Amino acid sequence: MTTSQPAAKGKRVAIRQDLFTTPLDDLNAVHLKGTKCNDCGEVFMGHVISCAHCGSESMKGIVFNDQGTLYTYSVIQYVPPGDYKGPKDPFIPFVEGLVELPDGIRIVAPVLDCDPKNARINMPLKLKVYDFFKDEEGNDVVAFCYVPA
């Protein structure tokens, strides 16, 4: 720390760099970012400097559509191993979806606000960007999921 001011509380930080459009002030106005290959059209999440499909370095940044559909899914019944930040006690089973976006990519993401019994392949979904947990510095860590549209 090079400043004598107290650390700002409640600052928002993205769970992963280059994932979201900024600023993060109004989470309803935040979208997912991706990269598209100018040569073969392959689409990737976040910022990518070369295409894993064709090797091209001609890439452009894109903003993903907020709408998607549930391509397939599984229901997570037990606390995932590792550093799981969701509710643990009690753990709430949730839908982990493979969400198909019109941008030509499928994204693995939790589908929240959705009882697993009600999950259906092809159901319309929309992006939700939210404060997921507080880190050690008191920042709100921003994550994303999908919810029924």
Give yes or no for residue 53 binding Zn ion (CB under 5 A): yes
Least spacing, CB of residue 40 vs Zn ion, in Å: 3
Q: Find the part of the chain contacting Zn ion (CB under 5 A) among 16-24, 37-45, 60-68, 94-102.
A: 37-45
The only residue of 56, 58, 74, 122 in contact with Zn ion, by rule CB under 5 A: 56
User: With the C-alpha atoms ordered 106, 111, 116, 118, is the resulting torsion angle positive or negative?
Assistant: negative
User: With the C-alpha atoms ordered 15, 120, 81, 47, is the resulting torsion angle positive or negative?
Assistant: negative
Give yes or no for residue 62 binding Zn ion (CB under 5 A): no
Residue the block writes with tokens 């979201």: 20
What is the binding site for Zn ion (CB under 5 A)? 37, 39-40, 42, 51, 53-54, 56
